[in-house]
Amino acid sequence: MPFIGNLQQLGRAIMLPMIILPAAAVFQSLAQLPWQHLGLPQMEVYLQLAAAAIFQFLPYIFALGIALGLTSNGLGAGMAALVGMFIYSGITAHYAPGTEPTVLIGTFIGIVAGISHLRFKDLRLPEYIQFFGGPRFVPLFVSFFTLIFSMFIVNLSEQLEWLLIELGEVVSLAGGFGVFLYGFVHRILVIFGLHHLVSHLFWFQVGGYETEAGYMVYGDLPRFFAGDPTAGSFMAGLYPTMMFALPAIALAIIHEAREDLKPQIRRTFTLAALSSFLTGVTEPVEFAFLFVAPYLYVVHALLSGLIMWLTNELGILHGFSFSAGAIDYIINMHLATNGWLIIPIGIVTGVVYYFLFRWAIRRFQIPTPGREEGSQLDEWVGDIPYRAPLILQAIGGKKNIVQMESCITRLRLKVHSEKDMDVNALRNLGAAGVIRLGGGHVQVVFGTYSELIREEMLKTIHRDQQQVSFHSPMQGRMIPLAEVPDPIFSGQLVGNGVAFIPDRGELVSPVRGKVIHIYPTMHAIGLLTEEGLEVLLHIGIDTSKLVGKDYFTAVVKEGEQVEPGQLLIRFNLQKVKKDSKSLATPMVITNSDRVKAWRFAPFMAVKKGQSSIMSVVLEESKSEGEVR
């Protein structure tokens, strides 16, 4: 499984250079405007040259992007990749003039540069030549490697060019079935974040086409934008799925949600549907049912393959620079063949998906979001600075992170211990799913907010602040303190914090600390954290009058040290509910003046001991630089 983790890192790296492709598509589309009538006759040529330049230098872009992606923006690796490409181009242009650098070559040299950086960045040489050690050794090594590699390619240039063209012909022999198989595998690999690897083969390697300028381009995507009339079969069939099928699933999930949850689910999944329709980002919808109904996801993958087969049989050719969303559909329509057929096919696809998923959700009682136990998806972009520290805690803290990257829809992590991650907390904090690839490689799917989350987490890691994180003291539902039916607590006269409505009669410690007070009736307990915060846990409202062991039983003593999740008090849930004003259980910090900033997780269902439900940043003494 560590091998899978390394592949997903490569898949993320491959996405980095692809972010430049939409610019080329936009340039080509804008070139179609009547610039001569606007008094700018040269603008069309400028735009066409700009788009052509991006595709011409695509191998260099891939080499640089993959090297940076594999090394978390290691500048030495990026420099080595570019130098390697220059060496390769110079040698092959002289000895094999017909050999053009391909994306495959750029990818290979980028991988070599990235791996070399990881291997040699800490290299120690004898002191008198240590100048060439460490990161400075990487460009030197890659230069010599590329020199030998280029000599090898020169001697095999004709055979390799023939092989790439033959590969395209072999794939084309598979016809519609080959396109179906690609569509099915593509959707399955989305689960693991590896779909970029199979796409890279078909989009940038399969088939060759000689442009009007006389140079060869390879792969479905560059050939499509270069004007190849046979390119686009491995992209066109994705449009009906992304523009119509996934939004239809989102609509089915909205309509099958409980009435009381429909407003929130409607907001969340309307945005997810628009994201898929406009930009082709599908994970927020797909991960809403992947984990609760994996068999349904397999059906979805099969249908996606069949749709691609159908578009291929109808002779539909279309392409995209980023993904198969409406924006790319419109921008690149001028290069498509029978592209208009995608709309009626997409409408039929959407109808089929909508009724299929509504039937499946009801028939098999699938707990999609908005139903009894649905996974959580939330719209919370404004809360990212506040939730990022909680997400960091749920991952296991900064000490658990070996490496943290992000792509369009997910955090890609390597952690020391997967056991230290709180998956339930991550789901409550907005994660659509958590995928374990083995070897400490983990993906947390947050949708298109992933990069923003990573940036905020890095800020949290680098800040020199003292923080205290809280676990849930009971199983039930977390509510704002303002909803507690007691003016003393709701008015924050005792202190600030949160409250809980329990559904089990157990109170556990939310922090590491010491028991400093247990009330005689045992309905409340006070804790002192290692940082000096005084935490009050008060079970129910107006429960101080409930005397007797039939109500509350403390299992710890004053002065005892406790850990997060350790049982403090057992209580008879039904009797307390019957004989008290409310089961609302506040958890407040009574010396709140020592808190500089508060961060709360979403107010929803929580499990006993669940991490990352609240965190606080402590004030620091200006005179001594110590926590007061």
CA distance 69 to 81: 12
Give the pLDDT band (50/70/90) at residue 625: very low
Give the pLDDT band (50/70/90) at residue 570: very high
Annotated catalytic residue, options 103, 265, 407, 442: 407
SS3 content of the chain, % helix, strand, coil (to 5): 55, 15, 30
Give the pLDDT band (50/70/90) at residue 476: very high
The pLDDT of residue 627 is 35
Weakest mean pLDDT among 123-127, 217-221, 496-500: 123-127
The pLDDT of residue 584 is 94
Annotated active-site residue 262? The verdict is no
Asked if 282 and 190 touch (Cβ cutoff 8 Å), the reply is yes
The pLDDT of residue 375 is 44
Of 98, 321, 58, 348, nearest to 210 by C-alpha is: 98
Q: What is the mean pLDDT of residues 53-57?
A: 86
Terminal Cα-to-Cα distance of the chain (whole angstroms)? 47
Which phi and psi (to 5°) does residue 609 adopt? 80, 0
Q: Which two tokens stand for residue 352?
A: 């089929």
Q: What's the one-letter identity of residue 621?
A: S
The pLDDT of residue 359 is 94
The pLDDT of residue 3 is 52
Angle of helix 58-70 relative to helix 103-120, nearest 10 degrees, comes to 30
The pLDDT of residue 207 is 74
Q: What is the mean pLDDT of residues 254-282?
A: 85
Top pLDDT among 437 and 282 is at 282
The pLDDT of residue 157 is 67
CA distances (Å), origin 617, targets 38, 101, 566, 612: 58, 53, 24, 14
Cβ within 8 Å of residue 524, ≥6 positions away: 518, 536, 537, 538, 539, 543, 544
CA distance 30 to 526: 67
**% of the chain residues with pLDDT over 90:** 34
Q: What is the mean pLDDT of residues 223-229?
A: 89
Q: What is the mean pLDDT of residues 157-181?
A: 71
Q: Inform me whether the pLDDT recorded for 377 exceeds 70.
A: no
Top pLDDT among 157 and 133 is at 133
CA distance 581 to 487: 13
CA distance 476 to 106: 54
Q: What is the mean pLDDT of residues 232-247?
A: 94
Q: What is the pLDDT of residues 455-469, one digit of tens each?
A: 888 887 777 667 888
The pLDDT of residue 380 is 53
Q: Inform me whether the pLDDT recorded for 329 exceeds 50.
A: yes
Top pLDDT among 382 and 512 is at 512
